[in-house]
Amino acid sequence: MSERLFLYIDILGFKDLVAKGFDIMSIYEKIDRLPAHSDEGFSCIVFSDTIVVYGDGYWLRHQNQGIMWLAEFAQHLFYNLISLDVHIRAYLTSGDFEHHKLKNLEAYYGEALVKCYEREKDIKSTGLFIDSKLLPYCDIFKTTEYDEHSHYVHVMQHLDEISWRHGMYPIPGICVSSTGAEWWLAYLLTYLRNTHKHANDISLPEATRLKHRNAWNMISQHHPGLTQTLEETDFNFREIVDIDWAEPLRRIGTEEGAWG
């Protein structure tokens, strides 16, 4: 068996999306654009609602970089699904994994795949998580402890630009518009609004609400002033950054948007 750096991504609520007649091809089109498909140092496998990405042997000798790239692959899909209000749960670890392309099929198996499948079921949250054993090599993304086995990875790095202390909002618009960050922040604030809405939607199953509630709590630990202000202002984005959000919000999910 060969040890690999290994990323496992699950599209949450896929069965319900199919049953409700959701445009499933719109999800696959975004999965099809993952940079992992064309990166020679990584291989990508897609089956049903699951995406697996693993690195070749080089990345075990350069784990900091390998973990950064795998996290960015998950981040890319996370961002691109915001416009569809579709959510992922992903787990980044290392372990033995084999992948062979035979004449009529592809064979893939190993400890890493089984571990991710089992661990992913135990994580009652949305978002990206990293195996605690790899934490020393995760030096690009900030993390928050979820349990003794894993940490939540904060992939929404642009939120750091508007993560101020409670009571300091709204942020003057020039602080954001001068860098053009509003086009990205429109997506991330929309994601926060959707997550909070799903966490409190009593029409949803409790298990679904719990996943969103735990994600909200992980984010709130890292951005307490921002999330508290969003709740207090009923997600009025202008109370966070004093700009006209109409155009950035209109562009979400379009070719003009930051992530389409």
Q: What average pLDDT is seen over the chain?
A: 96
| Average pLDDT of the segment spanning 67-85 | 97
Taking only the tens place, the pLDDT of each residue in 13-25 is 999 999 999 999 9
Taking only the tens place, the pLDDT of each residue in 140-187 is 999 999 999 999 999 999 999 999 999 999 999 999 999 999 999 999
Q: What was the pLDDT predicted at 1?
A: 63
As a whole number of angstroms, the distance between CA 211 and CA 12 comes to 10
Cα distances (angstroms) measured from residue 162 to each of 12, 106, 165, 185, 249 = 28, 45, 9, 9, 17
Q: What pTM, to 2 d.p., does this model score?
A: 0.96
- All residues at 6 or more sequence positions from 120 whose CB lies less than 8 Å from its CB, including other chains: 8, 10, 89, 91
Structure tokens, 147? 């349990």
Which residue type, as a one-letter code, is found at position 206? Answer: E
